[in-house]
C-alpha cells in the first residue's frame, strides 16, 4: 500500500518539544484596540454556546431520570442555587478570573495550555509528556462537544415552534436538519462576511433573556433567596440522590465555558471579561431566576420553562431569534474545531489537513473541509438518532466535565511551575474547582448507558487517531533519516567531487539539516546535475501560537559558503501559516547564496511511499490506520503554499 501525500506530511516538518521561542506576541487588545468593539465581537463568538444554555438546561434538570427533581419550592430553590453557584464558581471565578491569565503567547484553549505547560516542564520529560497527553485528551473530548452542541442548540430553538403551534411538532426535526445543512455548506465561504452581525444579534439575545426573566422575578421576588449557597447545602442534605442527579443536568448551564479560554487569542482577556461581567452573567442569571419563578407558579411549566417565559404573541419571534443565536453558537463550535485541528497538526498529532483561508485580513478565519464534513455527518446522525434536545441532553455533559477537569489539572501544573504557587494555594484550588468538577463528572457517569457513551466513543476514536499518527510519524522519521544519510557528508562529497551545475534555484523542504533530502540525492544520483542555488528549508513547529517575523528564520551555509548550498530553519507557531515561498522572500539577499528570485525557484519534494512491513513498533491495525491517514493527508505542496506549476515530486519507499 502506498501513501504518497501522507508520507511527505510525516516527513517534511519537525515538531519541537523544546522551550518556546522568546519574544511573546501580545494580543492587539492590549495595544489600543477598541475595548467596546472587541467586547461586542466576543459576545458574538465567545458566548454563543453558554448563552443558549437557557433554552434547554432548566427543562432538562426537571425531566432527568423520570422527573426525579420535583417542581416543589425546596427543589426549585435548590436547583436555581446550584445553577447560580455553578456559573459563578466555574465560569466567573475559575475561567474568567484565573484561567484567562494562563495564556500561551496570547492564545488560549486546552491544547495551547498543554503546549505552554510542556514548555515549562522541558526538564522533566515524563511530566511534559503527561501534560501534552492531557491536552490531546481534552481536544478529543472537544470534538465530541462539537458534534453535540450544534444538534442540541438548534433543536432546542426550533422546538419552540411546538410550544407556539403544537401541530408543528413533526416539522421540528426536518427544519433543524435544513438549518444545520445550510450552516455547514456555508463554511467554505467563510464567516467574516456575516460575522459582524453576530455581536448585535447576541446583544439582542442577552437583552431578551433578561427581559424575559425580569417580570417573573418581580412577580415572585422570593426566588432571589435561591442565590444563597445555603439552599445548595440544604438541597444536598435533604435530597442527596436527587441533588446528585440534578448536578448531572445542571452542568449544562456551564457548557461553553471552555470557549471563554479557547477564543482568547481572537479578542484578548479584557474584552471577554468586560462582556461577561457587563452583559452575559447578569442576563443568564436573571433568565434562570425567571424560569424558576414560572415553575413555582405552575408545575406544568417544567415542560419548556424558557419559551413559557414569553407571552404567547412573542413566541414565534422568539423562536426566530433563538434559532439565530443557536446558529451563532454552532458556528463558534465549528470554527473552534477547525482551530483545534490545525493546532493538533502543528503539534504532530494529525496529518496535514487541507486548510483554506476565507479572509484576507484575519489569519484565524479558516475552513478545513475534511473536519467540516465529518462534523456534519456526525451531527446529522445525532439528530436522526436522538430526535429531540431532551434526549440529546442525556449525551451532553461528559465531554464538558472531562474537559473542565483536564483544564484544571493543566492549570495547576502551570500555576506550580510558572507562578510558583504555594502548596496550600494549589490544594485549595484543587479542592474547590476539582472537587466540584469531579462531582459533575460522577453525576454524568450515570448517563453513560442513556447516551453519555457518545462523547466517550468520539474521544476514544480521536485519541486513537492522534496517538497512532504521532507514533507512526516518529517511526517513519527515524527510518527515513537512516535512508537519507548525513547532510554534512553529502555536501562534503559534492564539494570534493564537483558536479555539473545548471542555472536556477532548487528549494528542498526538509525537516532537519542533519540528513540529506531524498529528492536532492535522487537529483544528483540519477540526473547528475545540481542547481546553481540550492536552498534547504526546514519547517519547525514551535509550542507557541506565533513566532515573530524577526525570529522566524536562521541561515546556515553548512560550512561551504562558496558552493551555493544553504540551509534555512523556519520557525512557525501552531497558529502561523507555514508559507515556504514567504520564507524565501524574507531571506532573500541575506547572504550571497540567497541572492535569488523566489518567484522563479523550483521546489522538490521527497515522495515517500509507506508500506506495511513486519517490523515492530506499531500493531498491525495501527499500521493500517496510519497508512490510511497518510494516504488521505493534504500534500505538502498545498500545506507549505508551494506553487503547483513549479513543484517536482520524487519518490522513495519506507516500510512501517
Whether 399 shows a pLDDT value over 90: the answer reads no
Q: Is the pTM of this model over 0.75?
A: yes
Q: How far apart are CA 632 and CA 622, in angstroms?
A: 15
Question: Alpha helix (H) ranges present in 165-280?
Answer: 172-185, 192-219, 230-238, 240-250, 257-262, 264-267, 269-275
Whether 549 shows a pLDDT value over 90: the answer reads no
Q: How far apart are CA 581 and CA 570, in angstroms?
A: 11
Q: For the chain, what is the mean pLDDT?
A: 85
Sign of the C-alpha dihedral computed for residues 24, 30, 31 and 34 taken in this order: positive
Given CATH 1.20.1740, say whether it is the number of domain 38-109+135-398+447-470: yes
Q: How far apart are CA 75 and CA 246, in angstroms?
A: 10
Closest CA to 505 of 534, 530, 527: 534
Q: How far apart are CA 637 and CA 614, in angstroms?
A: 31
Closest CA to 542 of 515, 518, 578: 578
Closest CA to 46 of 2, 91, 86: 91
3: left (phi over 0), alpha (psi -120 to 50) or beta: beta
**Are 185 and 343 spatial neighbours (Cβ–Cβ below 8 Å)?**
no
Average pLDDT of the segment spanning 409-436: 94
Radius of gyration of the chain, Cα coordinates, nearest whole angstrom? 27
**Are 484 and 362 spatial neighbours (Cβ–Cβ below 8 Å)?**
no
Whether 202 shows a pLDDT value over 60: the answer reads yes
pLDDT at residue 121, rounded to an integer: 82
> Is residue 10 very low, low, confident or very high in pLDDT (cuts 50, 70, 90)?
very low
Share of the chain above pLDDT 70, in %: 92
Question: Alpha helix (H) ranges present in 87-171?
Answer: 110-120, 125-158, 160-164
> Is residue 27 very low, low, confident or very high in pLDDT (cuts 50, 70, 90)?
very low
Share of the chain above pLDDT 90, in %: 34
Place of cell 437583552: 207
Average pLDDT of the segment spanning 154-177: 88
Q: How far apart are CA 309 and CA 293, in angstroms?
A: 9
Place of cell 502548596: 423
Whether 536 shows a pLDDT value over 60: the answer reads yes
Question: Alpha helix (H) ranges present in 87-124?
Answer: 110-120
Question: Alpha helix (H) ranges present in 351-451?
Answer: 369-386, 389-393, 398-417, 423-429, 435-445
Q: How far apart are CA 196 and CA 204, in angstroms?
A: 14
Average pLDDT of the segment spanning 586-596: 81
pLDDT at residue 9, rounded to an integer: 44
pLDDT at residue 496, rounded to an integer: 83
| 458-514 confidence digits (pLDDT tens) | 889 999 999 999 998 888 888 888 888 888 888 888 888 888 888 888 999 988 888
Q: Say what the alpha-carbon torsion angle 58, 62, 64, 69 is, to the nearest 10 degrees.
A: 130
Closest CA to 114 of 262, 266, 269: 262
Distances (CA, A) of 582 to 537, 589, 599, 603: 12, 14, 10, 13
Q: Are strands 529-541 and 13-15 parallel, antiparallel or unpaired?
A: parallel
| 447-462 confidence digits (pLDDT tens) | 787 777 888 888 899 9
The domain segmentation of the chain, as residue ranges, is 38-109+135-398+447-470, 483-655
Q: How far apart are CA 447 and CA 428, in angstroms?
A: 29
Q: Are strands 366-367 and 565-572 parallel, antiparallel or unpaired?
A: unpaired
| 376-387 confidence digits (pLDDT tens) | 999 999 899 888
| 550-583 confidence digits (pLDDT tens) | 889 998 877 666 678 889 999 988 778 888 999 9
Residue 651 has a CB neighbour count (10 Å cut-off) of 15
| 92-134 confidence digits (pLDDT tens) | 999 999 999 988 877 788 888 898 898 888 778 888 888 888 9
Whether 13 shows a pLDDT value over 60: the answer reads no
Q: How far apart are CA 81 and CA 44, in angstroms?
A: 28
Closest CA to 328 of 177, 157, 156, 201: 201
> Is residue 188 very low, low, confident or very high in pLDDT (cuts 50, 70, 90)?
confident
Amino acid at each position: 500500500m502506498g501513501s504518497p501525500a501522507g508520507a511527505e506530511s510525516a516527513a517534511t516538518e519537525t515538531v519541537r518539544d523544546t522551550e518556546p521561542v522568546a519574544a511573546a506576541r501580545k494580543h492587539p487588545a492590549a495595544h489600543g484596540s477598541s475595548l467596546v468593539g472587541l467586547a461586542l465581537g466576543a459576545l458574538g463568538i465567545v458566548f454563543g454556546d453558554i448563552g443558549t444554555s437557557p433554552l434547554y438546561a432548566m427543562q432538562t434538570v426537571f425531566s432527568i431520570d423520570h422527573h426525579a427533581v420535583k417542581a416543589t419550592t425546596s427543589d426549585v430553590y435548590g436547583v436555581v442555587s446550584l445553577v447560580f453557584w455553578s456559573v459563578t464558581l466555574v465560569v466567573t471565578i475559575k475561567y474568567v478570573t484565573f484561567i484567562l491569565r494562563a495564556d500561551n503567547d496570547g492564545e488560549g484553549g486546552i491544547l495551547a495550555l498543554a503546549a505552554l505547560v510542556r514548555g515549562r516542564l522541558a526538564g522533566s520529560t515524563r511530566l511534559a509528556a503527561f501534560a501534552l497527553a492531557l491536552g490531546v485528551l481534552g481536544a478529543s473530548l472537544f470534538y465530541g462537544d462539537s458534534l453535540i452542541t450544534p444538534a442540541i442548540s438548534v433543536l432546542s430553538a426550533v422546538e419552540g415552534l411546538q410550544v407556539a403551534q403544537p401541530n408543528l411538532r413533526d416539522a421540528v426535526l426536518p427544519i433543524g436538519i435544513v438549518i444545520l445543512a445550510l450552516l455547514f455548506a456555508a463554511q467554505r465561504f467563510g464567516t467574516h462576511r456575516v460575522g459582524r452581525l453576530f455581536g448585535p444579534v447576541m446583544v439582542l439575545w442577552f437583552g431578551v433573556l433578561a427581559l424575559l426573566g425580569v417580570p417573573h422575578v418581580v412577580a415572585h421576588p422570593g426566588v432571589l433567596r435561591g442565590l444563597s449557597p445555603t439552599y445548595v447545602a440544604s438541597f444536598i442534605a435533604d435530597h442527596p440522590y436527587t441533588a446528585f442527579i440534578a448536578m448531572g443536568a445542571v452542568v449544562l448551564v456551564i457548557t461553553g465555558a471552555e470557549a471563554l479560554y479557547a477564543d482568547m487569542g481572537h479578542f484578548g482577556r479584557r474584552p471577554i471579561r468586560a462582556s461577561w461581567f457587563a452583559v452575559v452573567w447578569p442576563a443568564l442569571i436573571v433568565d434562570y431566576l425567571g424560569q424558576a419563578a414560572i415553575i413555582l407558579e405552575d408545575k406544568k411549566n417544567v415542560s419548556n420553562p424558557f419559551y413559557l417565559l414569553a407571552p404567547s404573541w412573542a413566541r414565534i419571534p422568539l423562536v426566530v431569534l433563538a434559532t439565530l443565536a443557536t446558529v451563532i453558537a454552532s458556528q463558534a463550535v465549528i470554527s473552534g474545531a477547525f482551530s483545534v485541528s490545525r493546532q493538533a497538526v502543528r503539534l504532530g498529532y494529525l496529518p496535514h489537513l487541507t486548510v483554506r483561508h476565507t479572509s484576507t485580513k484575519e489569519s484565524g478565519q479558516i475552513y478545513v473541509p475534511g473536519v467540516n464534513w465529518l462534523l456534519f455527518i456526525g451531527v446529522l446522525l445525532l439528530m436522526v438518532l436522538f430526535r429531540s434536545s431532551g434526549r440529546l441532553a442525556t449525551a451532553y455533559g461528559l465531554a464538558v466535565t472531562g474537559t473542565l477537569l483536564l483544564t484544571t489539572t493543566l492549570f495547576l501544573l502551570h500555576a506550580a511551575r510558572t507562578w510558583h504557587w504555594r502548596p496550600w494555594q494549589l490544594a485549595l484550588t484543587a479542592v474547590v474547582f476539582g472537587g466540584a468538577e469531579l462531582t459533575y463528572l460522577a453525576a454524568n457517569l450515570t448517563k453513560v448507558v442513556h447516551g453519555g457513551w457518545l462523547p466517550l466513543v468520539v474521544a476514544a476514536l480521536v485519541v486513537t487517531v492522534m496517538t497512532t499518527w504521532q507514533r507512526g510519524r516518529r517511526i517513519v522519521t527515524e527510518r527515513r533519516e537512516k535512508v537519507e544519510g548525513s547532510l554534512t557528508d553529502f555536501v562534503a562529497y559534492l564539494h570534493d567531487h564537483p558536479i555539473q551545475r545548471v542555472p536556477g534555484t532548487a528549494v528542498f523542504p526538509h525537516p532537519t539539516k542533519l540528513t540529506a533530502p531524498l529528492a536532492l540525492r535522487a537529483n544528483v544520483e540519477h540526473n547528475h546535475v545540481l542547481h546553481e542555488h540550492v536552498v534547504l528549508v526546514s519547517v519547525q513547529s514551535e509550542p507557541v501560537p506565533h513566532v515573530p517575523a524577526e525570529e522566524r528564520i536562521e541561515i546556515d551555509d553548512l560550512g561551504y559558503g562558496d558552493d551555493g548550498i544553504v540551509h534555512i530553519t523556519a520557525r512557525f507557531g501552531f497558529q502561523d501559516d507555514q508559507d515556504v515561498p514567504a520564507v524565501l522572500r524574507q531571506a532573500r539577499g541575506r547572504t550571497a547564496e540567497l541572492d535569488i528570485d523566489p518567484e522563479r525557484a523550483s521546489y522538490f519534494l521527497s515522495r515517500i511511499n509507506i508500506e506495511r512491513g513486519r517490523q515492530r513498533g506499531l500493531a498491525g491495525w495501527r499500521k493500517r490506520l496510519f497508512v490510511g491517514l497518510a494516504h488521505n493527508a493534504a500534500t505538502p505542496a498545498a500545506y507549505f503554499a508551494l506553487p503547483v506549476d513549479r513543484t517536482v515530486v520524487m519518490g522513495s519507499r519506507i516500510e512501517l
